[in-house]
Amino acid sequence: MNNPPTDAAARRAVKPLVCYEIDQLPPSNLELYQQARESMTMISEVTVPPRDGGTFEVPAGNFFRIVSVDGPQVGDLNLWNSRDLSERFFSGKTRQLHATHVSTGDRLWSTLPGLRPLATITHDTLDWYGWDDDGGGVHDVIGTRCDPYTNYMLKGVDYHHCCHSNLTRALAAARSMPLTEAELQVHDVMNVFMCTGFTRDTHQYFMKASPVRPGDFIEFFAEIDLLGALSTCPGGDCGSSHSDDSTPCYPLKVEIYQPAAGALQDWASPERSAYSGRHGL
Protein backbone atom coordinates (compact mmCIF):
# COMPACT_ATOMS: atom_id res chain seq x y z
CA MET A 1 0.00 0.00 0.00
CA ASN A 2 2.98 2.33 0.43
CA ASN A 3 5.53 3.45 -2.12
CA PRO A 4 9.15 2.72 -1.19
CA PRO A 5 11.12 5.76 0.03
CA THR A 6 13.95 7.08 -2.15
CA ASP A 7 16.57 5.38 0.04
CA ALA A 8 14.76 1.98 0.09
CA ALA A 9 17.63 0.19 -1.65
CA ALA A 10 20.16 1.50 0.86
CA ARG A 11 17.95 0.55 3.81
CA ARG A 12 17.55 -2.98 2.45
CA ALA A 13 21.26 -3.34 1.79
CA VAL A 14 22.22 -3.00 5.47
CA LYS A 15 24.25 -6.07 6.47
CA PRO A 16 22.44 -8.69 8.57
CA LEU A 17 23.91 -9.63 11.93
CA VAL A 18 23.59 -13.09 13.47
CA CYS A 19 21.67 -12.41 16.73
CA TYR A 20 23.43 -14.97 18.90
CA GLU A 21 26.93 -16.18 18.09
CA ILE A 22 27.39 -19.90 18.72
CA ASP A 23 30.77 -19.27 20.35
CA GLN A 24 29.07 -17.20 23.06
CA LEU A 25 27.17 -20.27 24.28
CA PRO A 26 28.45 -22.27 27.23
CA PRO A 27 31.03 -24.74 25.90
CA SER A 28 29.63 -27.99 24.54
CA ASN A 29 30.82 -31.39 25.76
CA LEU A 30 30.30 -32.92 22.32
CA GLU A 31 33.78 -34.43 22.15
CA LEU A 32 33.30 -36.22 25.48
CA TYR A 33 29.86 -37.48 24.38
CA GLN A 34 31.30 -38.73 21.09
CA GLN A 35 33.81 -40.79 23.06
CA ALA A 36 31.20 -42.02 25.55
CA ARG A 37 28.80 -43.18 22.82
CA GLU A 38 31.46 -45.65 21.63
CA SER A 39 30.94 -47.69 24.82
CA MET A 40 27.16 -47.42 25.15
CA THR A 41 24.76 -50.34 25.30
CA MET A 42 21.00 -50.34 24.76
CA ILE A 43 19.03 -50.66 28.00
CA SER A 44 15.45 -50.24 26.77
CA GLU A 45 13.32 -49.44 23.76
CA VAL A 46 9.83 -48.18 23.01
CA THR A 47 7.98 -48.52 19.72
CA VAL A 48 5.43 -45.84 18.90
CA PRO A 49 2.76 -47.25 16.55
CA PRO A 50 1.65 -45.25 13.49
CA ARG A 51 -0.61 -42.21 14.16
CA ASP A 52 -0.06 -42.56 17.89
CA GLY A 53 2.12 -41.30 20.72
CA GLY A 54 4.46 -42.84 23.26
CA THR A 55 6.61 -41.68 26.16
CA PHE A 56 10.04 -42.62 27.45
CA GLU A 57 12.30 -41.68 30.37
CA VAL A 58 16.01 -41.03 29.93
CA PRO A 59 18.18 -40.56 33.02
CA ALA A 60 20.77 -37.76 32.78
CA GLY A 61 24.00 -39.03 31.26
CA ASN A 62 22.29 -41.56 28.98
CA PHE A 63 21.61 -41.36 25.27
CA PHE A 64 18.44 -41.89 23.26
CA ARG A 65 17.88 -42.52 19.60
CA ILE A 66 14.81 -42.02 17.46
CA VAL A 67 15.00 -44.66 14.76
CA SER A 68 13.13 -45.01 11.48
CA VAL A 69 11.67 -48.48 11.02
CA ASP A 70 9.50 -49.95 8.26
CA GLY A 71 9.09 -46.77 6.21
CA PRO A 72 9.64 -42.99 6.04
CA GLN A 73 7.97 -41.34 9.01
CA VAL A 74 8.16 -37.97 10.71
CA GLY A 75 8.13 -37.71 14.51
CA ASP A 76 7.06 -34.82 16.72
CA LEU A 77 9.18 -34.70 19.87
CA ASN A 78 8.40 -33.13 23.25
CA LEU A 79 10.90 -33.10 26.12
CA TRP A 80 10.41 -32.23 29.77
CA ASN A 81 12.51 -32.16 32.92
CA SER A 82 11.08 -35.43 34.29
CA ARG A 83 11.03 -34.00 37.85
CA ASP A 84 9.39 -30.69 36.94
CA LEU A 85 7.24 -30.59 33.81
CA SER A 86 7.15 -26.78 33.87
CA GLU A 87 10.70 -26.91 32.48
CA ARG A 88 10.38 -28.14 28.93
CA PHE A 89 11.78 -27.82 25.43
CA PHE A 90 11.96 -24.21 24.19
CA SER A 91 11.65 -24.51 20.43
CA GLY A 92 11.76 -20.77 19.71
CA LYS A 93 14.95 -20.08 21.68
CA THR A 94 16.61 -23.21 20.27
CA ARG A 95 15.84 -21.87 16.78
CA GLN A 96 17.34 -18.47 17.66
CA LEU A 97 20.45 -19.93 19.28
CA HIS A 98 21.17 -22.50 16.57
CA ALA A 99 19.09 -22.48 13.38
CA THR A 100 15.70 -23.35 11.87
CA HIS A 101 16.89 -26.98 11.56
CA VAL A 102 19.17 -28.78 14.01
CA SER A 103 21.76 -31.54 13.77
CA THR A 104 24.84 -32.94 15.50
CA GLY A 105 26.34 -30.57 18.07
CA ASP A 106 23.18 -28.49 18.48
CA ARG A 107 21.48 -28.43 21.86
CA LEU A 108 17.78 -28.46 22.72
CA TRP A 109 17.28 -25.70 25.31
CA SER A 110 14.73 -25.50 28.11
CA THR A 111 12.11 -22.85 28.80
CA LEU A 112 12.73 -19.82 31.01
CA PRO A 113 13.71 -19.52 33.77
CA GLY A 114 15.72 -22.73 33.31
CA LEU A 115 17.37 -22.01 29.97
CA ARG A 116 19.82 -24.88 30.01
CA PRO A 117 20.45 -27.69 27.55
CA LEU A 118 17.96 -30.54 27.95
CA ALA A 119 19.74 -32.63 25.33
CA THR A 120 22.65 -32.43 22.90
CA ILE A 121 22.42 -34.03 19.45
CA THR A 122 25.29 -36.51 19.20
CA HIS A 123 24.62 -38.23 15.87
CA ASP A 124 22.36 -37.70 12.87
CA THR A 125 22.43 -40.08 9.92
CA LEU A 126 20.67 -37.40 7.82
CA ASP A 127 23.44 -34.84 8.35
CA TRP A 128 24.39 -35.25 4.66
CA TYR A 129 21.13 -33.59 3.58
CA GLY A 130 22.12 -30.01 4.33
CA TRP A 131 19.99 -27.46 2.45
CA ASP A 132 18.22 -28.52 -0.73
CA ASP A 133 17.45 -26.36 -3.78
CA ASP A 134 14.08 -25.37 -2.30
CA GLY A 135 15.79 -24.09 0.84
CA GLY A 136 14.52 -27.11 2.80
CA GLY A 137 16.34 -28.94 5.57
CA VAL A 138 15.57 -31.75 8.04
CA HIS A 139 14.75 -31.80 11.79
CA ASP A 140 13.05 -28.42 12.09
CA VAL A 141 12.35 -26.38 15.18
CA ILE A 142 9.95 -24.09 13.27
CA GLY A 143 6.64 -25.90 13.07
CA THR A 144 4.53 -26.22 16.16
CA ARG A 145 2.81 -29.64 15.73
CA CYS A 146 -0.30 -30.60 13.78
CA ASP A 147 -3.33 -30.10 16.02
CA PRO A 148 -7.08 -30.71 15.92
CA TYR A 149 -7.98 -27.05 16.51
CA THR A 150 -6.20 -25.70 13.42
CA ASN A 151 -7.52 -28.67 11.46
CA TYR A 152 -11.07 -27.90 12.60
CA MET A 153 -10.64 -24.23 11.72
CA LEU A 154 -9.49 -25.10 8.19
CA LYS A 155 -11.61 -28.16 7.40
CA GLY A 156 -14.50 -28.10 9.87
CA VAL A 157 -14.00 -31.74 10.94
CA ASP A 158 -12.88 -33.47 14.13
CA TYR A 159 -9.66 -35.46 13.69
CA HIS A 160 -8.22 -37.15 16.78
CA HIS A 161 -4.75 -38.35 15.74
CA CYS A 162 -2.92 -35.09 15.16
CA CYS A 163 0.47 -34.92 16.89
CA HIS A 164 -0.96 -32.59 19.54
CA SER A 165 -3.56 -35.21 20.49
CA ASN A 166 -1.09 -38.11 20.25
CA LEU A 167 1.30 -36.32 22.61
CA THR A 168 -1.56 -35.39 24.95
CA ARG A 169 -2.85 -38.99 25.21
CA ALA A 170 0.69 -40.34 25.70
CA LEU A 171 1.52 -37.90 28.49
CA ALA A 172 -1.85 -38.41 30.19
CA ALA A 173 -1.26 -42.18 30.24
CA ALA A 174 2.36 -41.90 31.42
CA ARG A 175 1.63 -39.54 34.31
CA SER A 176 -1.96 -40.61 35.10
CA MET A 177 -3.19 -37.10 34.35
CA PRO A 178 -6.57 -36.02 33.01
CA LEU A 179 -6.37 -35.17 29.30
CA THR A 180 -7.14 -31.51 30.04
CA GLU A 181 -4.11 -31.28 32.34
CA ALA A 182 -1.78 -33.20 30.02
CA GLU A 183 -2.78 -31.04 27.06
CA LEU A 184 -1.46 -27.92 28.80
CA GLN A 185 1.98 -29.54 29.13
CA VAL A 186 2.26 -30.32 25.42
CA HIS A 187 4.48 -27.77 23.71
CA ASP A 188 6.08 -26.79 20.41
CA VAL A 189 8.05 -29.71 19.08
CA MET A 190 11.23 -30.67 17.36
CA ASN A 191 10.05 -32.09 14.03
CA VAL A 192 12.31 -35.14 13.82
CA PHE A 193 13.09 -36.25 10.23
CA MET A 194 10.67 -33.65 8.82
CA CYS A 195 11.86 -31.77 5.72
CA THR A 196 10.67 -28.18 5.72
CA GLY A 197 11.54 -24.65 4.76
CA PHE A 198 10.03 -21.35 3.67
CA THR A 199 8.95 -20.66 0.09
CA ARG A 200 11.25 -18.15 -1.57
CA ASP A 201 8.50 -15.92 -2.96
CA THR A 202 6.00 -15.71 -0.09
CA HIS A 203 8.08 -17.08 2.84
CA GLN A 204 5.35 -19.59 3.69
CA TYR A 205 6.18 -22.67 5.71
CA PHE A 206 6.40 -25.70 3.41
CA MET A 207 6.97 -29.41 3.88
CA LYS A 208 8.21 -32.00 1.43
CA ALA A 209 8.65 -35.78 1.60
CA SER A 210 11.21 -36.64 4.26
CA PRO A 211 14.47 -38.19 3.00
CA VAL A 212 14.47 -40.55 6.04
CA ARG A 213 14.67 -44.29 5.34
CA PRO A 214 14.49 -47.32 7.65
CA GLY A 215 17.69 -47.54 9.69
CA ASP A 216 18.20 -43.77 9.86
CA PHE A 217 18.34 -42.31 13.34
CA ILE A 218 18.99 -39.15 15.30
CA GLU A 219 20.70 -39.52 18.66
CA PHE A 220 20.65 -37.30 21.73
CA PHE A 221 22.56 -37.10 25.01
CA ALA A 222 20.28 -36.43 27.99
CA GLU A 223 21.75 -33.48 29.90
CA ILE A 224 19.20 -33.78 32.72
CA ASP A 225 16.64 -36.45 33.70
CA LEU A 226 14.19 -36.36 30.80
CA LEU A 227 10.66 -37.38 30.08
CA GLY A 228 10.14 -37.54 26.32
CA ALA A 229 7.00 -37.95 24.24
CA LEU A 230 7.02 -38.80 20.56
CA SER A 231 4.15 -38.68 18.07
CA THR A 232 4.21 -40.52 14.77
CA CYS A 233 2.68 -37.75 12.67
CA PRO A 234 -0.44 -38.71 10.71
CA GLY A 235 1.31 -37.01 7.76
CA GLY A 236 3.71 -40.00 7.49
CA ASP A 237 6.69 -38.66 5.52
CA CYS A 238 4.80 -35.33 5.27
CA GLY A 239 5.09 -35.40 1.48
CA SER A 240 1.40 -34.92 0.74
CA SER A 241 -0.96 -34.15 3.61
CA HIS A 242 -1.30 -34.20 7.37
CA SER A 243 -4.11 -34.27 9.93
CA ASP A 244 -5.97 -37.11 8.17
CA ASP A 245 -5.77 -40.87 7.54
CA SER A 246 -4.89 -40.69 3.83
CA THR A 247 -1.08 -41.04 4.02
CA PRO A 248 0.84 -44.26 4.76
CA CYS A 249 2.26 -44.07 8.28
CA TYR A 250 4.91 -46.14 10.02
CA PRO A 251 6.09 -46.73 13.57
CA LEU A 252 9.13 -45.04 15.10
CA LYS A 253 11.39 -46.65 17.67
CA VAL A 254 13.02 -44.93 20.63
CA GLU A 255 16.12 -46.66 21.99
CA ILE A 256 17.76 -45.74 25.30
CA TYR A 257 21.51 -46.31 25.68
CA GLN A 258 23.79 -46.20 28.70
CA PRO A 259 27.50 -45.44 28.37
CA ALA A 260 30.09 -47.59 30.20
CA ALA A 261 30.87 -46.67 33.81
CA GLY A 262 33.43 -43.87 33.92
CA ALA A 263 32.96 -42.96 30.25
CA LEU A 264 31.63 -39.53 31.19
CA GLN A 265 34.58 -38.81 33.53
CA ASP A 266 33.62 -35.89 35.82
CA TRP A 267 30.69 -34.73 33.71
CA ALA A 268 27.81 -33.08 35.63
CA SER A 269 24.30 -32.03 34.61
CA PRO A 270 24.02 -28.33 33.67
CA GLU A 271 22.41 -26.04 36.25
CA ARG A 272 19.42 -23.78 35.58
CA SER A 273 20.23 -20.21 34.52
CA ALA A 274 22.05 -18.19 37.19
CA TYR A 275 20.12 -14.98 36.33
CA SER A 276 18.98 -13.33 39.59
CA GLY A 277 15.31 -13.36 38.56
CA ARG A 278 14.74 -9.80 39.87
CA HIS A 279 13.44 -8.40 36.54
CA GLY A 280 14.33 -4.88 37.58
CA LEU A 281 12.55 -4.85 40.95
Q: Which residues bind Zn ion (CB under 5 A)?
A: 146, 163, 233
Shortest spacing between CB 265 and Zn ion, in angstroms: 39
Taking the least distance from each CB to Zn ion, the nearer of 47 and 150 is: 150
What is the C-alpha separation between 87 and 173, in angstroms, rounded?
20
Taking the least distance from each CB to Zn ion, the nearer of 188 and 225 is: 188
Shortest spacing between CB 146 and Zn ion, in angstroms: 3
Shortest spacing between CB 10 and Zn ion, in angstroms: 43
Shortest spacing between CB 276 and Zn ion, in angstroms: 39
Q: In sequence order, which residues have a C-beta less than 8 Å from that of residue 64 and are 6 or more positions away?
A: 56, 58, 219, 220, 222, 226, 228, 254, 255, 256, 257
Taking the least distance from each CB to Zn ion, the nearer of 48 and 233 is: 233
Taking the least distance from each CB to Zn ion, the nearer of 104 and 144 is: 144
